[in-house]
Amino acid sequence: MATFVIGTMPLFAVIGFAARRSTAYVQGRLGLLTGAVVLVTGLLAINAGLVLNGSSFTLAGVWQDVTGASQAAALAAPPGAADGIQRMMIEAHNTGYSPSALTARAGVPTELTIRTDNTQGCTRAIVMSSFGVQKVLPATGDTRVGLGDLEPGTHRYTCGTGMYSGSITAVA
């Protein structure tokens, strides 16, 4: 324990000195900054919980609705189904899924291919609660998931931690 104290003492001395010197500058602002950080962290945690529970209401969804980020994807034409099965593909990257919003025809058998290319982190696990799908993806390769006949509406999917998400909107 003494070694730990002696080893960390210079670091804590520098932190203490910097904190003492900066008090005049951050006085009155530190509480505001700390409150903002706590608020943002809380909102991110709430959103992750909603996504992981398969809620149709998420804070990320509200943000997309407010900013119009999901408008272009909703207006795109549904993919064709040459052999009676519509096929869609998303790529799982280290920082999310691409595209994050897909449009498909409702009532048509659907197969989703998830492509990974040296993907690391939580996006290697995909959760699609409306289809009962939970899969751990390989670091590199294609994983095919049969979704059956899509019900009309928006079906959300997320990474294993709820941090990254996307949706498949089935239209009639």
Contacts of 163 (CB under 8 A, 6+ apart): 48, 122
The CA distance from 114 to 92, in Å, is 7
pLDDT for 143: 93
- DSSP character at residue 1: -
32-55 tens-digit pLDDT: 878 888 898 888 888 777 776 766
Classify residue 48: in a domain, yes or no: no
The CATH number for 155's domain is 2.60.40.420
Classify residue 102: in a domain, yes or no: yes
Number of domains forming the structure of the chain = 1
Tell me the pairing of strands 101-105 and 165-171. parallel
Residues of the domain holding 165: 70-171
69-92 tens-digit pLDDT: 544 444 444 444 557 889 999 999
2-29 tens-digit pLDDT: 888 888 899 889 988 887 877 777 677 7
92: nearest Cα among 147, 47, 159, 169: 159
pLDDT for 68: 64
Query: pLDDT band at residue 124, thresholds of 50, 70 and 90?
Result: very high
